[in-house]
């Protein structure tokens, strides 16, 4: 069985605390046409390098009924700056246009098969996976990006087309798993393409 969700799989449920102190479930986002769930964190240079690009994508598509949910599943025992308090501070400083959830148990990351930070999952209205992978092909320096994969997938779906490239490999740091060395990945984790 593949580690990461396959195209057509339903979004796994979650019930997680956000930086605003409210708990959110998958069903809290039922009204959106599309849902972008992405695994992120506070310290990763690929995340930090692409934050403003992700903000731009969210600002562009939120008015079109697309919601964005960031999830930090990294172990704070691996990187202290990935703890909840640093998440709250990060949102206060940056005012990102998405809900930022804390997956302390890492069960949500496991259920989605998150490989890296950032790793994006795009779900349709029925919450079936229609795209997963990267947002751009150069997240550390988005000004040098040659492909804008997440935007292409959103545009294709919203215009009624099929997704031309439903799978790309996420580019970034691996998820920091509790009790494991920094670069450990589950045995069945692998490239998507």
Domain assignment present for 16: yes
Q: Say if 188 falls within a structural domain.
A: no
Q: What is the pLDDT of the chain when averaged over all its residues? A: 96
pLDDT of residue 1: 45
> 0.95 exceeded by the pTM?
yes
- Domain assignment of residue 55, yes or no: yes
Please determine, for residue 158, whether its predicted confidence score (pLDDT) is greater than 90. yes
Q: Note the pLDDT of residue 171.
A: 97
pLDDT band at 185 (very low <50, low <70, confident <90, very high): confident
Tens digits of per-residue pLDDT, 10-31?
A: 999 999 999 999 999 999 999 9
Spatial separation of the C-alpha atoms in residues 171 and 121, rounded to whole Å: 13
- Tell me if 1 is assigned to some domain: no
Write down the pLDDT at residue 6: 97
Strand 23-25 vs strand 34-40: parallel, antiparallel, or unpaired? unpaired
- The backbone region for 128, taken as left when phi is positive above 0, alpha when psi lies in -120 to 50, beta otherwise, is beta
In a domain, 20, yes or no: yes
Number of domains in the chain: 1
For residue 191, what pLDDT band results from cuts at 50, 70 and 90? confident
- Residues 138 and 146: their CA atoms lie apart, in Å, by 8
Reported confidence tier of residue 162, pLDDT bands at 50, 70, 90: very high
Could you tell me the residue range of the domain that residue 52 belongs to?
Answer: 9-174
Mean pLDDT computed over 156-168:
97
pLDDT of residue 101: 98
- Do the Cβ atoms of 13 and 103 come closer than 8 Å? no
Q: What confidence tens digit (pLDDT) does each residue in 73-125 have? A: 999 999 999 999 999 999 999 999 999 999 999 999 999 999 999 999 999 99
In whole angstroms, give the CA distance from residue 82 to residue 97: 19
Which CATH number does the domain housing residue 19 bear?
Answer: 3.40.30.10
Is residue 169 included in any domain, yes or no?
A: yes
Is residue 70 within 8 A of residue 98, CB to CB? The reply is: yes
Does some domain include residue 184?
A: no
β-pair type (23-25, 129-133): unpaired
Element (H, E) at 184: none
Indicate whether 77 belongs to any domain.
Answer: yes
DSSP 33: S
């Amino acid at each position: 069985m593949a580690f990461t969700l396959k195209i057509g799989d339903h979004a796994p449920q979650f019930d997680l605390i956000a930086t605003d102190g409210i708990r959110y479930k998958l069903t809290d986002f039922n009204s959106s046409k599309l849902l972008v769930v992405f695994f992120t964190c506070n310290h990763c240079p690929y995340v930090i390098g692409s934050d403003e690009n992700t903000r731009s994508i969210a600002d562009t598509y939120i008015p079109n009924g697309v919601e964005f949910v960031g999830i930090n599943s990294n172990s704070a025992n691996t990187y202290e700056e990935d703890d909840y308090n640093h998440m709250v501070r990060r949102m206060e400083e940056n005012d990102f246009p998405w809900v930022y959830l804390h997956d302390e148990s890492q069960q949500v990351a496991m259920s989605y098969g998150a490989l890296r930070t950032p790793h994006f999952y795009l779900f349709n209205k029925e919450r079936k996976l229609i795209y997963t992978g990267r947002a751009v092909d150069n997240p550390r320096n988005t000004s040098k990006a040659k492909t804008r994969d997440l935007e292409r997938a959103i545009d294709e779906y919203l215009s009624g087309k099929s997704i031309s490239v439903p799978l790309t490999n996420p580019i970034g740091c691996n998820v920091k798993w509790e009790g494991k060395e920094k670069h450990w990945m589950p045995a069945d984790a692998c490239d998507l393409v």
